[in-house]
Structures are given as C-alpha cells and as structure tokens.
Amino acid sequence: MALSLFWVFFLLPTFGKVFSLKDAEAIRGAAVVNGKFPIAVADEDFVCATLDWWPPEKCDYGTCSWGLASILNLDLSNPILLNAIKAFSPLKIRIGGSLQDKVIYDTGDPGEPCRQFVKNTSEMFGFSQGCLPMKRWDELNNFFKKSGAVIIFGLNALNGRVPLKDGSLGGPWNSTNAAALIRYTVDKGYTIHGWELGNELSGSGVGARIGADQYAADVISLKSIVDKIYRDFPDKPLILAPGGFFDAKWFGELIKKTEPNSLDVITHHIYNLGPGVDQHLVEKILDPKVLDGMEPTFRDLQGILKSSETQATAWVGESGGAYNSGHNLVTNAFVFSFWYLDQLGMSATYGTKTYCRQSLIGGNYGLLNTTTFEPNPDYYSALLWHRLMGRNVLSTTFNGTNKIRAYAHCAKESQGITLLLINLDGSTTTEVIVTSKSAFIRSLKQYNTKASRTKFSHIPRTRKTSGFIREEYHLTSPNGNLHSQTMLLNGKILAVDHDGDIPEFEPIKVDASEPIKVDPYSIVYVHVPYFDAPACV
C-alpha cells in the first residue's frame, strides 16, 4: 500500500529507538496488517456478557460484592440497565454460573415448593438448592424483548446424578425439569438463542465433575428435546456445552462423541489471572508473557475442532479474569481493559465466535456498577469494540516494543480496517504507523541495499499520505490512575446523563501523514478507511 510504504522507510532505521519529543519520550513501531484475507470470522454480536444467580450473601475473602445483581432480584426497571443493553443492538447475554446446576424451575412439575437459595456452608458452593419462579421468568423475558438482548440459558445438568467411586458423578441427566422449562418458554413465545448444558463440570470440574462420555450422551439428549419441542420452528436454538475449563482430552472426547451435529457451540471459561485476592493482579495484567499464556488454550481448542467432523464452533462462555468475584478497583477499573480487550483480540484471532464477559453486573468484575448501574470502564471498551470491529479478523503483528498489543479487523459497516492498540507501558509513548504485510516486506528488502537507503533518506513526512484522514478513539484514565472507575475518551469523561442514556463516542480526525500516538497506559481504536484490504470488500 503506497501511502503506508513511506512511513515504513521513515521508521526502519529507528524501530524501538527512543527519541526526544517536546512533551515526552517516544519510541517508534509499525502495525503490520495482512488485509488480503481474513484469518477468522467472528459473530456479528461477538461481545457477550453474563448474568449470574449469586444471592447477596455470596461473599469472597470477607467481601460481599454481588448485592442485588442476581437473575432472581435484579432491578429490571433501572433505565441505565435497559439503555446499556440496548446500546449494543444486540447484546448476547448468557444466563448461568456456579449455582445454575442447583436451580429448579417452578413449572408445576414436580410441584415442589419454590424455595430460594439459602447460605449453607456444608453444601456445594455454600448454598442450598434454589428455584426460578415462572413469574420471574416472565418478567425477565419481557425485559429481554424490550432491550433486544439475545439470550443463552444455562440448564441444570446435575439432576439425576449419582456419586461414582472415582469421585465424579454418573448416571444419565434427568432432563424432565429442563424440558418443562423449555416447553413453557416455547408456549409463551419467548425467544431463546441457545440452551447450554451445565456449568464447570468438565475435566476435573469445579465442585463436581462428569465424565465426557456421559456428558456427550446428555448433550445428545438435550438436542433431541430441543428438536422435538421446536419441531414446528424453522430455526432452532443452539445447543451449547459444557461451559467449563478447557481440558484437551475431555473436550476432544465430547466433540468426537457429539459429531457431527449434536453440538452447535463448545463453550469454555477463562480465569487465567488466579484468585481475586491476589495482590499482584495489576502486574499480571500488564505483563505480555501472562497475556500470551492464553494462546495455547485458544490454539489447541481450534486444533481439535478443525481435526474433527463436528460443526461446533468455539465460544468463551464465561470470563472474569480473576475468580471468586474479582478484585475491587482492579477488575472493575480502568486497568482491566488492558486484559479484557487483549482477550477479545486474541480469542477472535484464534476463531472464537463469541466472548462472554463475567459479568454484565455483579461481583467486582461487572461491566456495570452493582449499586448504581453506571458503566465501568470495560463497558465502554466493549461497546467501542462492538461498534468498530467487524467480523473479519486480520493477521496483525507489531514491530517494535512488546508492550504494544495490536489487533485489526475489517471496519464494521464502513470501509477499511479498525486497528486496536494497547499500550502496557506506563512511561513511554509509542508512535505507530500502519502498513500492509506486502509493503512491509518490500521495504525490508529495499532497505537492505545502499541505494535504497540513499533514495529514501530525505523523503518529507507528509509525502504520499496527504489528503487522507483517519478516526481515533483514545481511552485513558484521569491522571493515569489505573484504579480509576472513570474512563476518558479523547480526554473527555464518559458518563451517562441524568436520563441514564449512554454517551456518544466522538472520534478525533487525524491527518494520515501523522503517526498514531499511543500514550503511556492508554488504548486506541483507529479507523483507517483508506487501508487497502481485499478481505474487507
């Protein structure tokens, strides 16, 4: 691409070198994007968030962070909640979590009293069995319709299980109660995008585990139930499983035994930063090696899918980064967008179709504040992704410091590409140019000759790029405070107004002859409409 080629030559002699600017020190680097073809294709509604079952009594490390954020008690009349979901048009919402396998659906069969969760430390996850009243299910579905949300519901997969000698649970899934809920849902005319079986029962499990062979049989059973109840519908809900942590052998067996079409989506969970009580979470979030540590999981799961005959695709069904409800002023603060957006970028690169964040609201990792419902920084990071990053994922590398994370997609509903740049460095500004892979390779070859060095040594900065404009969205925190729950867009505070409306995102327009300036501890979305990318036509 001619308009990028000049900047490659301008930067070649000084990649990674520090030079003096008027206001700061900076280094130079290049984001090299291969726009010839997509390396993966994500869902249009790639961004997803979860709603959980945890009652107010759910506490971790002496802190009770869930408040009234449960499926059973969430205030559905809050205008910010409604507007926050509507802003995505649509937002996928996955209903599930640790307690989902202990929920009974009060459909009148078997007619047991509808008791709510009660704290009991002797029971799995510290709570007794709970219940979903159909009145509440009606309220939820009316809200989902009003908000335009796309719903995935996690079913109770522990019904009917018996303990086995190896410590796992066996016996076929008793699907009677789940089938009654599905039938009730269809009879009421409610739209469910997918039914997911179980939560964190795969591999070694969390609290309980089920063998892959039995789980596959249960998935096939769920598929049969859905096919029967939705037999008169042209489009049937997706079948998802297992909603657990990736275990290559276990996942491989589940996929093999549900081939070719009993399972639509294989879901896995991510809490790669460890417990929420960890005092080194910020260091982990800002460490490129820690972030890269998730690549094998994404890569290995895609390898299993590609080598099988299944039609199933991969989703991240739940991901809060730090387990046990996260960490206040870390997983709900500005710094967490570095981890979160890197996860979105990396997972999409490896073929993940949808990524569900734990949580929409609740705990210390909600996209919305549990008490006020006002958006935390990650909400705005996610909404910008949803609006700017298209489905087609482009191969992207960054030549320069390892503190810059770079991802590119075809622009959403626009020409060119959108580039995401994440600066993990708190003291250095990086000036970035964007170039195609072919132009970068040509420039390297030409620069290796003495004639080329002479030829390009005096080209002025503005040549070949004049007349082109790009749009930039710079995300920062006030005074560089990583623990701030306020996010700035191009220097202006993002906040809802008095009616609870989500603010508009206004980019700054920049002459293409200038490099992209990525400040310390900042995130930049860049829409580059003039980038020649055949994959985006």
pLDDT of 112: 75
How far apart are alpha carbons 283 and 285 in whole angstroms? 6
Nearest CA-CA partner of 5 in 315, 463, 413: 463
Q: Which of 25, 57, 112, 200 is catalytic?
A: 200
What average pLDDT score do residues 376-390 get?
A: 99
Task: For residue 98, give the DSSP letter.
Answer: G
Taking the CB of residue 97, how many other CB atoms lie within 10 A of it? 26
- CATH class of the domain at 42-389: alpha beta
Identify the pLDDT of residue 397.
97
Distance CA 436, CA 427 (A): 28
Q: What percent of the chain has pLDDT over 70?
A: 90
Residue 447: its pLDDT value, please? Answer: 53
| pLDDT number for residue 448 | 56
Q: pLDDT tens for residues 228-283?
A: 999 999 999 999 999 999 999 999 999 999 999 999 999 999 999 999 999 999 99
| pLDDT > 50? residue 450 | no
- Percentage of the chain lying above the pLDDT 90 cut: 88
Cβ-count burial of 371 within 10 angstroms (0-12 exposed, 13-18 middle, 19+ buried)? exposed
Give yes or no for residue 505 having a pLDDT over 50.
yes
User: In the predicted model, what is the mean pLDDT of residues 515-520?
Assistant: 97
Please tell me which residue, 466 or 131, carries the higher pLDDT value: 131
What is the tens place of the pLDDT at every residue in 363-374?
999 999 999 999
pLDDT score of 113: 87
Q: Are strands 488-489 and 389-399 parallel, antiparallel or unpaired?
A: unpaired
Q: Which one from 318, 431, 471, 472 is the annotated catalytic residue?
A: 318
- pLDDT score, position 438: 80
DSSP H/E element including 32: strand 25-34
Q: How far is CA 397 from the centre of its chain?
A: 21
| pLDDT at position 203 | 97
pLDDT at 458: 31
SS (H, E, C) 248-279: HHHHHHHHHHCCCCCCCEEEEEECCCEECCCC
Our answer to whether residue 200 is catalytic in this structure is yes
- All structural domains of the chain with their residue ranges: 27-39+397-528, 42-389
- 326 or 441, which is more confident? 326
**What is the band of 26 on the pLDDT scale with cuts at 50, 70, 90?**
confident
Q: Which pLDDT score, from 0 to 100, does residue 20 have? A: 37
Is residue 359 within 8 Å of 51, Cβ to Cβ?
yes
pLDDT tens figures, 386-425 = 999 999 999 999 999 999 999 999 999 999 999 999 999 9
pLDDT higher than 80, residue 111: no
- The amino acid at residue 509 is K
User: What does the pLDDT average to over 312-336?
Assistant: 98
Q: Which helix (H) or strand (E) holds 19?
A: strand 18-20
Active site residue 259: no
**Architecture of the domain delimited by 27-39+397-528:** Sandwich (2.60)
- Tokens standing for residue 467: 């007349």
Bridge partner residues of 337 (DSSP): none
pLDDT-derived band at 17, boundaries 50, 70, 90: very low
